[in-house]
Amino acid sequence: MRLSGDNTDKLPVISLTPLIDVVFILLIFFMLASSFLDWRELRIQGQEHKTSTASVVPPKKETIRLALLRNDTIKLGTETISRNDLEQFIKTQTSALPAIKVLISVDDGVKMQNTLNFLQDLKAFGLVDLTLIEQSKS
């Protein structure tokens, strides 16, 4: 028994636009909520400018000057050394002296990532008192 004469079997129309909007919003949400980088903290002490005349004398430390050069070589004083030689030198120095202050100058053409890797290597060698200094114009 037929109740309606113009009732044809039509399928409901599903619009894809709202589905695409939802997927796009979820994509943006997960992109903002997730981090693909490994964030680590690296404390760096800069040069201090002496403005007060208070005489607080810290304990004397052995000072080492290192220079990171453009071609990824390391200069210790006047001689150029490799990273392995630097590690060996630091191990012998830290066994003899408990407190070592390291002054680090970086050449103009050195990339920031190479500098941070160098600082992390020094921290891994057991050095904690690292100071970045301006490169001397000699």
State residue 81's pLDDT score: 87
Distance, CA of 93 to chain centre? 26
Q: Phi/psi at 3 (nearest 5 deg)? A: -95, -35
State residue 7's pLDDT score: 61
| Separation CA 109–CA 88 (nearest Å) | 26
pLDDT digits (tens, 9 = 90+) for 81-127: 888 888 888 888 777 666 788 888 998 888 888 888 888 888 888 88
* 8 Å CB contact between 39 and 76: no
State residue 48's pLDDT score: 62
Number of other CB atoms surrounding residue 134 within 10 Å: 9
Q: How confident is the model at residue 5 (pLDDT cuts 50, 70, 90)?
A: low
State residue 28's pLDDT score: 94
Provide the mean pLDDT of the chain: 79
Q: Which residues contact 59 (CB under 8 A, 6 or more apart)?
A: 99
Q: Is the pLDDT of residue 4 over 90?
A: no
Residue-range domain boundaries for the chain: 62-133
Q: Phi/psi at 38 (nearest 5 deg)? A: -100, 100
- Report percent pLDDT > 70 for the chain: 72
Of 104, 98, 103, 105, the residue nearest 60 (C-alpha): 98
| Separation CA 4–CA 1 (nearest Å) | 9
State residue 8's pLDDT score: 66
Is CATH 3.30.530.20 the classification given to domain 62-133? no
- Report percent pLDDT > 90 for the chain: 7
Of 106, 85, 83, 97, the residue nearest 129 (C-alpha): 97
